[in-house]
Every structure is written in C-alpha cells, then in structure tokens.
Structure 1
Amino acid sequence: MLVRSVFFAAVFSLLGACTADSHQNNDAAVIAAAKAGYDAFAAGDMEAWAQTQAPDSQWGMPKGFPYGGDYVGPQQVIDEVFTPIGELWPDFKVEPTAFHAAGNVVFIETKMTAGGVTSDSIHKAVIENGKYAAFQVYDDAGFMMAHSTAGASIGKQYFGDGSSKPLMAGSSANAQLWVDYIQAHNERDFDKIAAMNAEDFKGVTPGGEVVRGSEAHADFLQNWVATENPQWAVWWVIPNDGENEEGGVEEWLATGNVVTSTGPDGTERKAYETIDVLIEGGKIRLLNVASQTMPE
C-alpha cells in the first residue's frame, strides 16, 4: 500500500510539473505575442504592427476620448484610433513595464507619455494563434485629454495624400512682427523690410508673379509706390504653428489687410488682401498674397 501511494504521489508530482512547465511555456508564448504588438507600435512600423493582429481583432477604447468606442481589424484601428492619438499627443508613447499572463489573456502594466506628462495604465490583450484577438484599454481619459492638443488646437492643415495635422496657436511675437513689417511698408523703409526678410525670401503676387530675394522685393515695392502710392492697414493676424509632412514645426501667419492705392487718374481704390506668411528664424520667408477689390 505504501509503495502504491508513493507511486501515485510520484506520478501526480510529475504530472503537476509537466502542467506547470506547459503553463510556463504558454505564458511565455502569449506574452511574446503581446510584446510584439507594443514593439512594432513603438517603432512606428504599422505594417509590422498589423501583422500582430488577427484580421477581425476586436479593440475597445474608453469613453471620454474622441475615439472612444469599438473597432474591428487593424486598419480601422490605425485610421480611427492611432491617427487621432498622434494629433492629440504628438509626443505619445506607451511603455509596457510588466506582462501578466493567465491562459491566453495578458494584462499589461504600462506607462503612457502624452502631452508632456506620464500616467499609469492597464491594458488587456487576448491572444489566439499568436495574434491579438481582442484588446481593451483602461487609460485615464480625463487626465490624458487635459494634456492633449485639443484645447490648444485652432484648426488643421491638410497634405496632398489627404492626411492632416493639427494647427496650434502661434506666438504673439509673430503677430507683432507682421505689424512692424507693415509699418515699414507704410514708412517706405525698404532697408528695414530687407532686414526683416529671410535671405531666401520669396513673394507670390495675386497675379502669380514670383518675387525672389529682398533686392527684387524692394524694386517691386518701389515701382508700386511710384505708380499707386499704396498704404496698408492690418485688419487681423492669426499666428499658427504646425508640423509639416517631414515632422518639422513651421511658423505661419494668416492675415487680412486693406490696401488703399491711388491710380494715375487720382481714383482711390481699396483692396482686401489675405496673405499666408511663413516665418523662419524670426524672418519673413514666404508671402502668398490673394487680393480682391473692395466694393464701394
């Protein structure tokens, strides 16, 4: 009897050890699959990230985010979750700090950096056949949205491929730069205008004429002054900053101005000009001018 008991105890012990080894191997496999998704996201490799997801993977995002809701498949997640995340928090990153597996479910402890601050969060992944079958996020929406660009964003800029990035409120110093620039025009201070222009200055007139460099700019203005004696009045200026397609931050002004000119016959004419102004290093780099005659 004693021998039989010892035999069964040894068998059960061996089975338990085998089961434990099996669980450990399974845990390692599902954790590796979960980690692969985070690694691809951190690298910005959306193609590799999509390969970590099942074609019909189910994603759940918390209420309180603009993208809160349920999503199916990696492409919908990229388009409707990751894209707005990049707009709301240009510095966004998620760092997994611990993985805890229970069967095919993995709980991930993370540190989220968004809007210059870091918060803790828990994510839950369901792994099937080595891919994400489901993913649920438990991020602190209120905390993260309080540090998003949503409050500071004043619009969007669009690119040729249809993508967009947020425009942020720019520096008030740039608005003053424009006021000073226009004052120099009214005072016919062409040296000051040249000093405020960037070395590679370019201006595009309403008629499509391209003026390159401060010397050509001065010639253009002097001819205009000699024939029509224009005077400018600034109506509004909106400084705005935004990332270009390469990720570099550009400083722009959108501005509306009224130009009063007098023709050779003495007739006064008013035109409303809207101008896009690119500023680089505190200098005027580009002027894109549109104009329409104001009705009397």
Structure 2
Amino acid sequence: MKTNLDIIRATYEGASADNGKHLLAALAPTATWTEAAGFPYAGTYTGPDEIVAKVFSRLASEWLDYRATVHTYLADGDRVAAFGVYSGTYRATGKAMSATFAHLYRLEGGKIVSMEQYVDSAIVRQAMQA
C-alpha cells in the first residue's frame, strides 16, 4: 500500500501529464485546494473539477514551462509538506520567474482532502506585470 508521502511524491516527480493524472486520482471528491492570498489564483476551490478549472487550466494556458520542483518533503501522520520552487515564463509579458513555495497536504484513506499553498507571490506577480 502506498504511503501518504508516496501519493504526494507521485504528483510532482514524473512527467507533467503523469503528475496531473496522479493528482486527479488522489483528490477526494470534496477536496479543498487553497491558493495563497496575494497569489494570482488566490482562493479556495472544492473538488477536482473546480481545482483543475481555476488553477491548473489557467497555469497551463497563461505560462510557458510552468513547473513546481520539490526539493524537500516532510511527512507527519496524515500531513505531507512539499517545499520547492515554482518556475515559468508568463506568456503575456515574456517574463520568467522563480518563486519558493510550500504546500501542506492533509490526506484521509489515501486521498487528498486539503492542500494549502504558501508562496512568495510578489515574485510571481512581477513576472505578470508589463
């Protein structure tokens, strides 16, 4: 049986399409996904469809080579934290960015029930400004 850490690692460490497939499989039907205040996609989204539409579809259409590269994971019971760096180039401005992030996941029964993002959003917003 996969551990909570295995489940979260599988959403970051493969090809982009595989990561997305693993994330969708791991999300509970009522999972909440909170993008940090100040981040361009700030808000709390519920369920896989809303999470994909409000976060991942926008990232894919608005950024070139957007990546979330994790350098450290910490697991403690039902919680897994992923620490890393976002990178990408905003299509509308052509500006690249590299911003640190932390994601805190809570899992129940092998499914992600919540994710909360912490990020240096000022760096991301700078890339988005002409």
For the residue of structure 2 that corresponds to 1:38, the secondary structure is coil
CA distance in 2, matches of 1:36, 1:54: 16
Identical amino acids, percent of aligned pairs: 24
Q: Which digits, 9 at most, give the CA deviation of each residue in 1:23-75, with x for residues without a partner? A: xx9xx8111011122246x4224444311111111110112233210101111
**Higher helix residue share:** 1
In structure 2, the partner of 1:55 is 29
**Counterpart for residue 38 of structure 2:** 64
Partner of 1:128: 108
Aligned to 2:127: 147
SS at match of 2:119: coil
Q: Please state if 1:118 is matched with 2:92.
A: no
Structure 2 vs 1, CA of residues 67 and 119 (structure 1 numbering), >3 Å: closer, same or farther? closer
Q: Deviations over 1:86-144 (max 9, x none)?
A: 23322210111111111111111112113333222111011111121110110111111
Q: Which amino acid aligns with 1:147?
A: A
Distance 1:133 1:125, change over 3 A: same
Q: Helix, strand or coil: the match of 1:33? A: helix
Q: What TM-score comes out, normalization by structure 1 length?
A: 0.38
1:43 alignment counterpart: 16
Distance 2:13 2:52 in 1: 15
- Give the CA deviation at 1:81: 0.7
Partner of 1:106: 80
Q: How many residues align?
A: 123
Partner SS state of residue 116, structure 2: strand
The amino acid of 1:43's aligned partner reads S
Corresponding residue of 2:117: 137
What is the TM-score normalised by the length of structure 2?
0.82
The higher relative CO (CA closer than 8 Å, separation ≥ 6) is in 2
Does the 8 A contact of 2:69 with 2:85 survive in 1?
Answer: yes
SS of aligned partner of 1:84 = helix
RMSD across aligned positions (CA) = 2.1
